[in-house]
A = this chain, B = another copy of it.
Amino acid sequence: MVAAPGKKPGRRPGPSDTKPAILAAARELFADKGYDGASIRAIARAAEVDPALVHHFFGNKEGLFVAAMEFPFDPTVMIPQVLTGGPREEIGERLVRAFLGIWSQDEIRARAMAVVRSAATSDQGAEIFREFLTSAMLARVSEVLELPRLRILVAIGQMVGVVVLRYVLEIEPIASAGDEELVELLAPTLQRYLGGV
């Protein structure tokens, strides 16, 4: 997919080749250099396109990362929407419902599981996931909610654990528990962590 450095491709990439070539280069460079280390400029160079084209297709580095990792949805868009899409006193319930809604979709779940597994099994997967979570997501959520990062991570931890038990290990009765049962248990926990004073 990606031409080796210095090697000229046999023909100029057509419009339908360009996007996959950028994504392939992005995956390669994110894997090699990590999230922080891989610049849009370097990715564009590896894909032999103009950096402006990368910005045109994917906006910024976060957008490119989300597309390259084949995230099933764009967390950089969705999470701030959920956080601020209603009263702060209902943030716990809103987060649990949004979360269960996403995971209830088969295709989304399959792709998200691949991300989770890669993060759990390869040091490189963990590294990339960690950098993205820290650089792109955690800083922003912490700023929007005006809360310390530790608090946000503990809340994320609750939902990560539910994912592991419900979707990865499929342990009963949490695997087939209804959404309402889970909202009742989990919403007050997230509310306490993220509700603010």
Identity of the chain B residue whose Cβ is nearest the Cβ of A126 in the assembled complex? B169
A contact patch SS? helix
Identity of the chain B residue whose Cβ is nearest the Cβ of A157 in the assembled complex? B161
Identity of the chain B residue whose Cβ is nearest the Cβ of A118 in the assembled complex? B121
Please tell me which stretch of A59-67, A104-112, A145-153 contacts chain B, meaning at least 4 of its Cβ atoms lie within 8 angstroms of it: A145-153
Contact B162 A157 (CB under 8 A): yes
Return the contact of A174 from the options B150, B171, B177 (Cβ within 8 A).
Answer: B150
Contact A177 B150 (CB under 8 A): yes
Identity of the chain B residue whose Cβ is nearest the Cβ of A120 in the assembled complex? B120
Residues in B whose Cβ lies below 8 Å from that of A173: 148-150, 153
Please tell me which stretch of A30-38, A50-58, A81-89, A181-189 contacts chain B, meaning at least 4 of its Cβ atoms lie within 8 angstroms of it: A181-189
Report the contact-size class of chain A (Cβ under 8 Å from the partner).
35 or more
Please tell me which stretch of A2-10, A11-19, A127-135 contacts chain B, meaning at least 4 of its Cβ atoms lie within 8 angstroms of it: A127-135
Contact B129 A169 (CB under 8 A): yes
Query: How far apart are A132's CB and chain B's nearest CB, in angstroms?
Result: 10
In the complex, whether A170 has a CB less than 8 A from a CB of chain B is: yes
Contact A164 B134 (CB under 8 A): no
In the complex, whether A192 has a CB less than 8 A from a CB of chain B is: yes
Contact B151 A156 (CB under 8 A): no
- Do A185 and B120 form a contact, CB below 8 Å, given A161-B159, A161-B160, A171-B130? no
CA distance A160 to B120 in the complex (A): 12
Q: Give the interface of A toward B (CB within 8 A).
A: 116-117, 119-121, 126, 129-130, 133-134, 138, 148-151, 153-154, 156-162, 164-166, 168-174, 177, 181-182, 185-186, 188-189, 192-193
A-B contact pairs, 7 of them (CB 8 A): A117-B121, A130-B171, A138-B171, A151-B185, A153-B173, A156-B165, A157-B161
